């Protein structure tokens, strides 16, 4: 999300402008500055580098969730857009980003995962369990709830 936001912001700026990019994502800043090689977001990074050729950019790392008004606003806008796009694609079916369950039934989905012994592992960026059966049962239960809700809504 951060790389996409940087790209879209740069595209809005006139040639030759001086720009200050403030971000709480060290990854996004490093990728945008060409400090690290990436394969995952290569297309986005190349597009950002192309935009940077026509601008003078200063980069500033800000602390996440530190009360920085502009950063909090950017985070909220990103979450709103993520929800809007997700709901267009999946019609509200729950999904997980950064350990947070979003979408219709998000709290129920999170409770189901936890009830089956799954825990959020920030290092792996995934819901994990030691027991494969716990995972399969949790997924089946969540899928059944989503299917049931879809039938109720769609008839």
Look up tokens 């790209």; give the residue. Answer: 7
pLDDT at 4: 83
pLDDT of 12: 92
Q: pLDDT per residue over 101-154, tens digit each?
A: 555 566 666 677 677 676 666 555 555 555 555 556 666 666 666 666 556 555
Whether 150 contacts 142, CB under 8 Å:
no
> Residue 14 carries which DSSP code?
P
103 half-sphere exposure, CB direction, 13 A CA radius? 19
Tell me how far apart the alpha carbons of residues 18 and 108 are, in angstroms, rounded to a whole number.
Answer: 47
pLDDT at 150: 57
Is 94 a residue whose pLDDT tops 90?
A: no
Q: Quick: pLDDT tens for 25-78.
A: 898 899 899 887 766 778 888 999 999 999 999 999 998 878 888 888 888 887
Burial of 22 (0-12, 13-18, 19+ CB in 10 A): middle
pTM listed for this prediction = 0.55
Name the residue with higher pLDDT: 3 or 146. 3
What domains sit in the chain, N to C, each tagged with a CATH number?
1-90 (3.30.420.10), 92-154 (no CATH)
């Amino acid at each position: 999300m951060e790389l996409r936001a940087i790209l879209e912001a740069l595209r809005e700026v006139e040639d030759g402008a001086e720009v200050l990019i403030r971000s709480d994502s060290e990854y996004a800043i490093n990728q945008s500055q060409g400090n690290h090689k990436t394969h995952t977001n290569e297309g986005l990074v190349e597009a950002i580098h192309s935009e940077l050729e026509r601008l003078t950019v200063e980069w500033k790392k800000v602390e996440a969730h530190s009360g920085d008004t502009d950063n909090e606003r950017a985070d909220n806008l990103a979450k709103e857009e993520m929800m809007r796009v997700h709901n267009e694609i999946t019609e509200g079916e729950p999904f997980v980003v950064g350990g947070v369950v979003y979408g219709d039934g998000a709290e129920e989905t999170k409770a189901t995962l936890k009830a089956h012994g799954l825990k959020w592992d920030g290092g792996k960026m995934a819901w994990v369990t030691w027991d494969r059966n716990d995972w399969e049962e949790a997924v089946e239960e969540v899928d059944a709830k989503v299917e049931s809700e879809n039938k109720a809504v769609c008839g």
